[in-house]
Amino acid sequence: MSIDVFISEDQIQKRIKELGEEISRDYKGEEVIVVGVLNGSFMFCADLVRVLKFPVITEFMAAASYGEGTTTSGDVKILLDIKTDIEGKHVLFIEDIVDTGHTFKKILAMIEKRNPKSVRIASLLSKPARREHHIDIDYLAFEIEDKFVIGYGLDLGGKYRELPYIGVYNPEAN
Ligand code: PRP
């Protein structure tokens, strides 16, 4: 097997700097609570907060989707919640990938009940072909076709999250 590079480390880091500039301009002078959605977002979140030009409060949530095999049932459970009171605050979610949209449908429904001032989403990847719920992504690094990608936070059975690039798993290569 081999892993082919799909989006290189340089491409990712260049795009993160661009997003960092855009986000820094948009939130200039505001207080923002950044929420990384674990596990997949840990690397994107770590790199993105480092290029923001304003101080943020960093929090994490964890969600898990239960389905069989590669299908998703849409039954998303929140495994870890944030500790900060977000009422009247700007919340910026950081996610590795928006796929069907089930995860954000659940998270947004829960978060909006807490009356934040605003809620936005920054995602490394989006697969629009897989969408089952419309999700507005405010800051998107890369839109991709429906292919199975790993690395830079994304896993295959818990492995490969540590790769500094996004790759495509090729089980047939030597
Ligand atoms: C992945 C990803 C998103 C979610 C997106 O998480 O990190 O949170 O799926 O899919 P959706 O739009 O179809 O809901 P996963 O449940 O694989 O957990 P992980 O982050 O721990 O890898």
How confident is the model over 109-125, as pLDDT tens digits? 999 999 999 999 999 99
Q: Is 159 within a domain? A: no
Q: Which structural domain range is residue 84 located in?
A: 7-144
Ligand 1 centroid to residue 24 C-alpha, Å: 26
Domain membership flag for residue 160: no
CB neighbours of residue 82 within 10 Å: 17
Any ligand 1 atom below 6 A from CB of 40: yes
CB 144 within 8 A of CB 161: no
Q: Are 166 and 152 in contact (CB under 8 A)?
A: yes
| Residue 157 within any structural domain of the chain | no
Residue 73 above 70 pLDDT?
Answer: no
pLDDT tens digits along 115-153: 999 999 999 999 999 999 999 999 999 999 999 999 999
* Domain harbouring 28, CATH code: 3.40.50.2020
Please tell me what DSSP assigns to residue 116.
-
Query: Going by DSSP bridges, is the β-strand pair 118-126/149-150 parallel, antiparallel, or unpaired?
Result: unpaired
At 30-53, the pLDDT tens digits run 999 999 999 999 999 999 999 999
Domain count, the chain: 1
Of 99, 136, 146, 155, which one is the catalytic site residue?
Answer: 99
Residue 136 annotated among the catalytic residues of the structure: no
Single pTM value for the model: 0.94
Per-chain mean pLDDT for the chain: 94
How many angstroms is it from 152 CA to the middle of ligand 1?
A: 13
